Amino acid sequence: MTEPAKDFWARADRDLLEHWPKDASGAPETAAKLDIQWELDSQADITVSFLKSCGIPAFLNGSLGKVLGGFASQGVEIWVPASQLEEAQALLDAPAEETPPEQD
């Protein structure tokens, strides 16, 4: 999987860069592609928010299709730090917990 262009980090959101793991030289750790999701139902944004709430920084890449029609028709890629790829995948693969209805 090809990592987004290195100049991405020069333009990256300050919060993302602050939370992204750094290598021994202080440079951002290599990113790994976690998934490709559709934007039409906001699933990709929800997934990134979920990962961030679990302590895994993530970003979307490949939403150039937004210029035509307001969403990326090919889907968008979700990227996470390579060192947290397995943890992120396990979170996405985990079955949803069902909360029992509250009793009155």
Domain map of the chain by residue range? 8-90
Kindly report the pTM of this predicted structure: 0.75
pLDDT in tens, 26-62: 989 999 999 988 766 678 889 999 999 999 999 988 7
Which residues, including other chains, have CB under 8 Å from residue 78's CB and lie 6 or more apart?
33, 34, 35, 36, 37, 44, 47, 48, 51, 58, 59, 60
Which residues, including other chains, have CB under 8 Å from residue 77's CB and lie 6 or more apart?
33, 34, 35, 36, 60, 61, 62
81/40: higher pLDDT:
81
pLDDT at 77 over 70: yes
3-state secondary structure (DSSP) of residue 25: coil
Question: What pLDDT score was predicted for residue 73?
Answer: 61
